[in-house]
Amino acid sequence: MKIVLLLAVLAITAPPGARADDAPPLLRHDPFRRPAPLSPALAPGSTSAPAPASWQPTLRGVLLAGSGALANVDGQMVGIGERIEGHRLVSVSEHQAVFEKDGRRIVLDTRRPLETRP
């Protein structure tokens, strides 16, 4: 009788859809980041296309986890092998994330500004 009562209480207090094998979803963006202001070139009624800008991201942080390492680039979480604006993340170290695009390596560092290497 006590076991049945205990199981009934547990069934009532468990959140709906809760299972032990459910894994939390991975975040791919910063949920606290404010949206970027609308560029005048992208404003409604604009007829000209904006000029392509060079990629100047900010490395906000890194998470070292072997092949599951992540880099927080402008609030977006990027894993090894994934791409952001055409740049593929090739490695992550303590303070750096290395991206590659068109044979060029771009090293982002949390301690200093953007550095480009051939």
pTM of the model: 0.52
Domain with 68 in it: 56-118
- Number of CB atoms found within 10 A of residue 85's CB: 11
Neighbours of 89 (CB within 10 A): 21
Number of domains, the chain: 1
Residue 5, in any domain of the structure: no
Identify whether 3 is part of a domain: no
Classify residue 84 as exposed, middle or buried by CB count within 10 Å of its CB (0-12, 13-18, 19+). middle
In a domain, 63, yes or no: yes
- In order of 12, 25, 70, the CA distances from 22 in angstroms are 19, 9, 22
Distances in Å between the Cα of 92 and the Cα atoms of 44, 59, 89, 112 are 39, 11, 8, 16
Domain presence at residue 113: yes
14-62 pLDDT, tens per residue?
565 555 556 666 667 776 677 677 665 555 655 555 555 688 899 999 9
Do the domain assignments include residue 91? yes
